Chain A
Amino acid sequence: MKRAQKIILFVLLAFTVRLIISCCDCNNTVEAFDITQVEIYPIDNTGAYPQSANDTLYRKAIAFEIQVGDNQLQEFAIKKNSFSTFNELKACECVMSYKLNYSIDSITIITNRELSFIYPAKSDLSDKFYASKINWGNPGSLYQTLDELVEDINTYSLSDSRMYRFLVVLDKIYTNSDIVSFTFTFHMSNGEKIIGLSPDIYLTD
């Protein structure tokens, strides 16, 4: 066999081996996880797109990002490989899916400070908030009610993450005070309540 033919044969063989071992045998099971942690961050929603903010928000555009998940927020799944050999050659990556162990019954949002005579401290403002998924750099479509958001979270599983992230926004001005803060409570179907506190937010006009 000529040298050139041997080289071509070797290259073809290498491609064939690569092709065969690239096939993934992914385990498609969805793993369950528990919500143990809620984190609240202020969001600047005055422009077209939501952006990270410090502790000061525009009075007419009070908005928060909520991250809810287990203790290892942002954890990525371990890639499962089914072949015991040639692991280092494999190009495939199995995507892990996660869903909640216990569904969410409801989300309540309570003001920690007095907003006005009508809304003293501990008032429930859940029906004054709307929610949406966060698409950074994308203005996104309309909002959902908190009940619709809960239904979405309970229905859909996560890929390679055990953390739900979403935006909640207040529909209009309820206060003239300069500082607000809220308590976000996730009422789980097993009776647990997972609570997240927003930092004190300073309001400007």
Chain B
Amino acid sequence: MGKLLIAAFFVLSAQTGWSNSADSTKYELTVYSGIRTILCDSLPANTDLDLANTIMDEQPTAYIGLNLNVNWHPKFSTAIDWLIIDSYVFNNFRLSAQYNITEFFGLRAGYYSFDYFLQNEMDYFIDNYDKFFTRTITNPYIYEDDNFFQDRIKDQGFILGPVFKLEKPRFTFNLYLNWGITRHDKYNLSFVAKELNTNKKQKIVLETTKSQSPIFFPEFNLKYRFMQKRRLNLGLQIHGNIYYQDKIMNYEKTVYEWTDSNIDRLLVDSPRHRFFKYEIDIGIIFAW
């Protein structure tokens, strides 16, 4: 029993990453660049407008990012990631904390946020106006109530999952099997329909409700240290992930006729869509 406890103590005391080595590092700063792809199912028209049908399939899009990993303790580390994608602001980020239970196994929890575009929602609306909305207007001229610009949605969620680790003097491989729950921020679309040849106007406002979806978010990274000068270590990292969720975009539909005070409201449940996001990137690690 005593030997078992001693063995358990040594296993649990095993250090992680480069901090294992004699020249342990507390901070790791990784500058990386990669590509992201987003794919979302487009489902056939149902009885009402399906906002998830307007999510833009994103062709591989380049991004750059920064990761700061701090090993507070041989067993505990935290990390923060910022990504710039399709704009000049860090509009995607991730926070995580990892606890290493053994040399080969740990747990990680985190929070993330990222955004993506809708496309052709105006066309989708116009094409389906007759089918999805109260048919009190025939021959409508439809326009967006506010100035039109391409809309984007932000998803954010929490993840938790096991970490499987493999460490060699120069290599570290981590596999994260993250599970979690996500929801998108509130988002609304507003259209006005003017009936041609009459004075009649109708306004339709679609405001998404907060709909949670489960996610599966497996991720890996492979680190290779190729240089060590005094306290500074340099390395390379390859990182990739697949993000999957059953996307649902329920919304409240409000129809106004003639004036803002003449209102008809309806809650719309939308079907679930398969939503994938793939990322792969390569970066340089500075550790000290």
Report A's interface with B, CB cutoff 8 A.
Answer: 45-48, 58, 60-63, 130, 139, 141-145, 148, 169-172
Contact = CB atoms under 8 A, between A and B. Distances in A.
A148 B258 CA distance: 13
Interface in B174-213: 192, 194, 196-201, 203
A61 B198 contact: yes
B143 interface: yes
B108 to A, nearest CB: 49
Given A47-B141, A130-B259, A171-B258, A143 B201 contact: yes
Contact of A48 (B141, B198, B260): B141
Contacts of B200: 171
6 contacts: A46-B198, A60-B197, A60-B198, A62-B199, A141-B201, A171-B258
Interface in B152-192: 192
B155 to A, nearest CB: 30
Given A141-B203, A142-B258, 20 more contacts: A45-B199, A46-B196, A46-B198, A48-B143, A48-B194, A48-B196, A58-B197, A60-B198, A60-B199, A61-B197, A62-B199, A63-B199, A139-B143, A141-B145, A142-B203, A143-B259, A144-B259, A148-B259, A171-B199, A172-B198
Interface residues of B, number: 17
B141 A142 contact: no
A148 to B, nearest CB: 7
Contacts of A145: 259, 261
B133 to A, nearest CB: 15
Interface of B: 141, 143, 145, 192, 194, 196-201, 203, 256, 258-261
Contacts of B259: 130, 142-145, 148
- The interface centre, meaning the residue of A61, A63, A142 with most chain B CB atoms within 10 A of its CB, is A142
A46 B195 CA distance: 8
A142 B143 contact: no
A139 B258 contact: no
Contacts of B256: 142
Contacts of A62: 199
Contacts of B201: 141-143
A66 to B, nearest CB: 15
Nearest to A43: B199
Nearest to A130: B258
A136 to B, nearest CB: 15
B273 to A, nearest CB: 31
A47 B256 CA distance: 20
B141 A46 contact: no
A83 to B, nearest CB: 39
Contact of B258 (A45, A61, A143): A143
Contacts of B261: 145
A60 B145 CA distance: 24
A58 B259 CA distance: 22
A143 B200 CA distance: 9
Given A142-B192, A144-B259, A61 B143 contact: no
Given A47-B141, A130-B258, A130-B259, A141 B192 contact: yes
Contact of A139 (B192, B197, B199): B192
A168 to B, nearest CB: 10
A169 B261 CA distance: 17
B194 A130 contact: no
A197 to B, nearest CB: 21
A169 to B, nearest CB: 4
A139 B261 CA distance: 19
A46 B197 contact: yes
Contacts of A170: 199
Nearest to B143: A139
Contacts of A143: 201, 258-259
A172 B141 CA distance: 18
Contacts of B194: 48, 139
A87 to B, nearest CB: 39
A45 B261 CA distance: 22
